[in-house]
């Protein structure tokens, strides 16, 4: 990794530090302070937007590990979110387990489901694996909807009990804001650290060429299944947080369309970088909100277009955004961010 | 439903025939899918949206605009063919040589865009149907009551498949497309324009999807749910092996029959997911399908 001019690493510990210079640390402190005092000034609308975007970012970090780093394409990520949401809700509602236990259990359940549907990745890859994950999406939602309606609530909505953490009840946007932000910071830090460890390096090797990486002594099966476990664990945690945040979940919240949206966010943000999920989720979230705001305004000018204009604008702009990014900037906004950082480090010399 | 004795047998045969005729439509749509995969190694996840869009387009030419059926059908097929041809130029040509995830997402982006466009144009048209061309009546064949619409769809699909196979075996364009599918480099060195062959395969796939949408819309009405056929067609293509036209038709029939049987004997919920169960089983036990080519990879 390149440093700012004049900063030299003279030990391995310095070489591995994430916040190497004083300016980085100061920037981080300012950022944390900004997010700490944000609820005091931010309106309800902004807090809701930040909360839902942050939950999406947690899920995207998992998808980034699975698809961005390990190269195992998953188009069924929201189904694993559903597994996390439903298993934590059922544990809380039916067995009365406390929230701090339900959350990791949701992640664990989703991770195990991920391993199950990751098993075909040992034999097939590329398009075929993508099809397996699409099938996983449909099969998981079917399992929630049909066979055990008395446990999972069937096709109708399931109520989630109130979050109670040691006597403290989470019931406002602000409470959830702090909780989700802390979770986001922790999960991002863990993801970043994992991808710098030898597991992360093994994932990248598997992505670049799985047969060559096997020849170099990487256990392919272990690596792929581990990637599926970690990626789906993140999805499960995100799903569990989401369930407790919105308090009502139904199978229709976790569709193939939303899985496609998540992959699209990751591509727009940039695959295989820690900042990618943040950029992608914020970009698409902003795009969606602006379409929803613009829709009624366009209808007031051209009334013939009908009532569904917001929904159709959202879909069309998403499709166009994904296509344009893939053609003109396939490495996403994250790549632009890296270029910006690099030019800051080298400033005022461009070489 | 009575499943005992002779009546049960009739239900069985009836379900089989319906399954085969619906599966024929799936197979037809899967042929469009296989065509694109063969010529450019791209999975077209927008096939279902093309089916839905084609059906809506055909409906608006037939009903609100009121053009005579023969002219309307020719016009719509020409429009979707041109649109498919144009899709190759942008955004698919820049995708040559890109990673698999990029090609998956570009077709999904096209699909999401088409769905948004359809929502913009036709969201107020709910519960619409094509004008009936033949009056529905039930014919008894060996004591099994079968609707003549089913027979009509079956024979129409059969004619289309025969025409397609004649096209690929004897016409110059069809042979060029098959050559391009075999190897881009070899075809190019023999003087075949590969990009044009790929564009033609997209055009034909779009036309086939529209015809499939017309047939399917004729049976079950036109709505946005038609786009789900796309993934079922993928399952059909996968069962047959991705490189084979006859495999696609055959796979479509297997999926169709499995769907009507589970729908008839088990329940609606399972009917929705049975294509995906079959898909996972095929992927685990026979990833290259019944008629597909086994790929050996070396580093």
Rg, Å, chain B Cα set = 20
pLDDT one-digit tens code per residue, B243-277? 778 888 889 999 999 998 888 887 777 888 899 99
B269/A142 CB distance under 8 A: yes
B120/A308 CB distance under 8 A: yes
Phi-psi region of B110 (alpha: psi -120 to 50; beta: other; left: phi over 0): alpha
Query: Residue A351 has what pLDDT?
Result: 61
CA B43 to CA B60: how far, in whole Å? 29
What are the distances in angstroms from CA A184 to CA A61, A191, A315?
9, 10, 27
CA A231 to CA A133: how far, in whole Å? 13
With contact defined as beta carbons under 8 Å apart, do B226 and B217 qualify?
yes
Helix B100-122 with B47-62: angle, nearest 10 deg: 20
What are the distances in angstroms from CA B213 to CA A251, A295, B249?
28, 29, 16
DSSP calls for A227-260: HHHHHHHHHHHHHHHHHHHHSEE-GGGS-HHHHH
B105/A264 CB distance under 8 A: yes
Among the partner-chain residues A146, A257, A323, the one whose CB lies closest to the CB of B269 is: A146
What are the distances in angstroms from CA A294 to CA A311, A313, B113, B121, B243?
11, 9, 18, 17, 45
pLDDT one-digit tens code per residue, B174-205? 888 888 877 788 888 988 888 888 899 899 99
Q: Looking at this predicted complex, what is its ipTM?
A: 0.88
Query: Residue A226 has what pLDDT?
Result: 95
Residue of A nearest to B274 (CA): A139
Question: Containing H/E element for B139?
Answer: strand B138-141
CA distance B80 to chain A (A): 19
Residue of B nearest to A72 (CA): B101
DSSP calls for A113-154: HHHHHHGGGGT--THHHHHHHHHHHHHHHHHHHTT-HHHH-T
CA distance A252 to chain B (A): 14
Residues of chain B contacting residue A319, judged by C-beta atoms under 8 Å apart: 109-114, 116
Among A121, A136, A245, residue whose Cα is nearest residue A183: A245
Residues of chain B contacting residue A213, judged by C-beta atoms under 8 Å apart: none
Helix A220-246 with A44-63: angle, nearest 10 deg: 160
A215/B299 CB distance under 8 A: yes
The total number of residues shown for chain B amounts to 299
pLDDT of chain A along its 351 residues, tens only?
667 777 788 888 887 777 778 888 898 899 999 988 888 887 888 899 999 999 999 999 999 999 999 999 999 999 999 999 999 999 988 888 888 889 999 999 999 999 998 888 887 878 888 888 999 999 999 888 887 877 777 778 888 888 877 778 888 888 889 999 999 999 999 999 999 899 999 999 999 988 899 899 999 989 999 999 999 999 999 999 999 999 889 888 899 999 999 999 999 999 988 899 999 999 999 999 999 888 888 878 877 766 678 888 899 999 999 999 999 998 999 999 988 888 887 777 766
Residue of B nearest to A310 (CA): B120
**Residue A260: which residues within 8 A CB-CB, separation 6 or more?**
A75, B108, B112
B272/A138 CB distance under 8 A: yes
CA distance B194 to chain A (A): 20
What are the distances in angstroms from CA B159 to CA A35, B28, B153, B154, B166?
65, 11, 10, 9, 11
CA distance B285 to chain A (A): 9
Residues of chain B contacting residue A271, judged by C-beta atoms under 8 Å apart: 101
Among A59, A14, A5, A53, residue whose Cα is nearest residue A239: A59
Query: Residue B296 has what pLDDT?
Result: 67
A264/B106 CB distance under 8 A: no
Is the Cα torsion angle B57, B63, B67, B69 positive or negative in sign?
positive
Residues of chain A contacting residue B297, judged by C-beta atoms under 8 Å apart: 211
CA A84 to chain centre: 13
- A-B Cβ pairs (cutoff 8 Å, strict): 144
CA B119 to chain centre: 21
With contact defined as beta carbons under 8 Å apart, do B32 and B252 qualify?
no
CA A211 to CA B295: how far, in whole Å? 14
A135/B104 CB distance under 8 A: no
B138 DSSP assignment = E
Among B199, B249, B201, residue whose Cα is nearest residue B29: B249
CA A334 to CA A318: how far, in whole Å? 18
With contact defined as beta carbons under 8 Å apart, do A155 and A141 qualify?
no
B106/A326 CB distance under 8 A: yes
CA A282 to CA A285: how far, in whole Å? 5
CA A49 to CA A306: how far, in whole Å? 27
CA distance A223 to chain B (A): 19
Phi-psi region of B169 (alpha: psi -120 to 50; beta: other; left: phi over 0): alpha
**Domain locations along chain A:** 43-254, 255-351
**Residue B285: which residues within 8 A CB-CB, separation 6 or more?**
none
Among A99, A239, A243, A97, residue whose Cα is nearest residue A169: A99
A138/B284 CB distance under 8 A: no
Among B238, B245, B234, residue whose Cα is nearest residue B181: B245
Q: Count Cβ atoms below 10 Å from residue B106 Cβ, excluding itself.
A: 27
Residues of chain B with pLDDT under 70: 1-7, 134, 143-144, 293, 295-299
Query: Residue A258 has what pLDDT?
Result: 92
CA distance A55 to chain B (A): 23
Rg, Å, chain A Cα set = 21
CA A322 to CA A68: how far, in whole Å? 16
Would you list which residues of chain B are within 8 Å, Cβ to Cβ, of chain A?
43, 90-91, 94-95, 98, 100-102, 104-106, 108-117, 119-120, 123-124, 231, 234-235, 238, 267, 269-270, 272-273, 276-277, 279-280, 283-284, 287, 297-299
A326/B277 CB distance under 8 A: no
CA B88 to CA B226: how far, in whole Å? 24
CA B98 to CA A2: how far, in whole Å? 29
CA A151 to chain centre: 27
**Residue A183: which residues within 8 A CB-CB, separation 6 or more?**
A58, A237, A241
Q: Would you give the end-to-end CA distance of chain A in angstroms?
A: 16
What are the distances in angstroms from CA B154 to CA A20, A161, A172, A327?
70, 53, 59, 41
Residues of chain B contacting residue A326, judged by C-beta atoms under 8 Å apart: 91, 95, 98, 102, 105-106, 109
pTM score: 0.89
- Tell me whether residue A202 is exposed, middle or buried, using C-beta atoms within 10 angstroms of its C-beta: 0 to 12, 13 to 18, 19 or more: buried
What are the distances in angstroms from CA A126 to CA B4, B77, B271?
47, 33, 27
CA B232 to CA B252: how far, in whole Å? 8
CA distance B168 to chain A (A): 26
CA distance B280 to chain A (A): 6
With pLDDT > 90 as the criterion, what percentage of chain B qualifies? 17
Q: Would you give the end-to-end CA distance of chain B in angstroms?
A: 57
CA A24 to CA A26: how far, in whole Å? 5
Residues of chain B contacting residue A317, judged by C-beta atoms under 8 Å apart: 116
Among the partner-chain residues B272, B276, B287, the one whose CB lies closest to the CB of A135 is: B276
Residues of chain B contacting residue A280, judged by C-beta atoms under 8 Å apart: none
């Amino acid at each position: 990794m390149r440093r700012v001019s004049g900063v030299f690493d003279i030990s391995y510990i310095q070489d591995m530090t994430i916040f190497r210079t004083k300016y980085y640390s100061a920037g981080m402190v300012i950022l944390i302070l900004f997010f700490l005092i944000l609820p005091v000034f931010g309106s309800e609308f902004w807090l809701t937007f930040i909360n839902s975007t942050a939950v999406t970012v947690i899920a995207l970090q998992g998808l980034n590990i699975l698809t961005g780093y390990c190269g195992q394409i998953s188009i069924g990520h929201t189904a694993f979110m559903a597994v996390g949401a439903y298993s934590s809700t059922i544990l809380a509602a039916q067995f009365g387990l406390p929230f701090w236990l339900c959350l990791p259990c949701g992640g664990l359940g989703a991770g195990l489901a991920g391993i199950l549907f990751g098993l075909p990745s040992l034999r097939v890859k590329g398009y075929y694996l993508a099809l397996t994950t699409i099938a996983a999406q449909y099969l998981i939602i079917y399992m929630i909807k049909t066979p055990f309606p008395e446990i999972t609530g069937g096709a109708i909505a399931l109520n989630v009990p109130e979050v109670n953490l040691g006597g403290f009840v989470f019931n406002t946007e602000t409470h959830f804001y702090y909780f989700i932000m802390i979770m986001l910071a922790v999960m991002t830090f863990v993801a970043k650290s994992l991808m710098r460890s030898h597991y992360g390096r093994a994932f990248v090797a598997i992505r670049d060429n799985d047969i060559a990486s096997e020849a170099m002594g990487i256990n392919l099966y272990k690596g792929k299944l581990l990637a599926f476990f970690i990626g789906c664990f993140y999805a499960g945690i995100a799903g569990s947080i989401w369930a407790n945040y919105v308090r009502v979940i139904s199978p229709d919240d976790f569709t193939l369309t939303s899985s496609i949206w998540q992959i699209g966010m990751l591509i727009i943000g940039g695959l295989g970088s820690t900042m990618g999920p943040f950029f992608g989720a914020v970009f698409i979230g902003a795009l969606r909100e602006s379409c929803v705001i613009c829709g009624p305004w366009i209808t007031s000018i051209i009334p013939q277009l009908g009532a569904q204009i917001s929904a159709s604008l959202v879909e069309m702009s998403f499709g166009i955004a994904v296509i344009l990014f893939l053609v003109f900037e396939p490495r996403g906004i994250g790549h632009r961010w890296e270029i910006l950082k690099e030019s800051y480090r080298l400033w005022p010399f461009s070489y | 439903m009575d499943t005992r004795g002779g009546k049960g047998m009739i239900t069985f045969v009836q379900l089989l025939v319906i399954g085969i005729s619906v599966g024929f439509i799936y197979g037809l749509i899967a042929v469009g899918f296989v065509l694109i995969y063969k010529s450019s190694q791209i999975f077209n996840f927008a096939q279902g949206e093309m089916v839905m869009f084609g059906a809506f387009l055909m409906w608006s030419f037939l009903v609100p605009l009121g053009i005579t059926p023969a002219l309307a059908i020719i016009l719509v097929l020409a429009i979707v063919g041109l649109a498919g041809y144009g899709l190759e130029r942008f955004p698919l040509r820049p995708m040559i040589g890109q990673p698999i995830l990029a090609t998956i997402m570009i077709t999904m982006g096209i699909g999401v865009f088409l769905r948004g466009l359809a929502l913009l144009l036709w969201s107020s048209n709910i519960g619409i149907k094509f004008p009936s061309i033949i009056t529905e009546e039930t014919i008894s064949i060996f004591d099994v009551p079968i609707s003549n619409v089913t027979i009509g769809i079956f024979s129409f699909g059969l004619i289309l498949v025969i025409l397609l196979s004649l096209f690929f075996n004897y016409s110059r364009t069809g042979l060029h497309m098959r050559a391009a599918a075999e190897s881009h480099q070899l075809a190019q060195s023999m003087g075949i324009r590969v990009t044009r062959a790929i564009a033609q395969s997209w055009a034909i796939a779009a036309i086939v999807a529209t015809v499939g949408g017309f047939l399917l819309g004729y049976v079950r009405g036109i709505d946005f749910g038609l786009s789900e056929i796309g993934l079922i067609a993928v399952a059909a293509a996968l069962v047959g092996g991705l490189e084979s036209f006859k495999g696609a038709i055959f796979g479509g029939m297997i999926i169709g029959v499995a769907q009507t049987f589970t729908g008839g004997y088990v329940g609606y919920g399972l009917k929705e997911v049975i294509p995906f169960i079959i898909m996972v089983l095929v992927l685990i036990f026979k990833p290259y399908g019944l008629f597909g080519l086994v790929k050996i990879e070396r580093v």
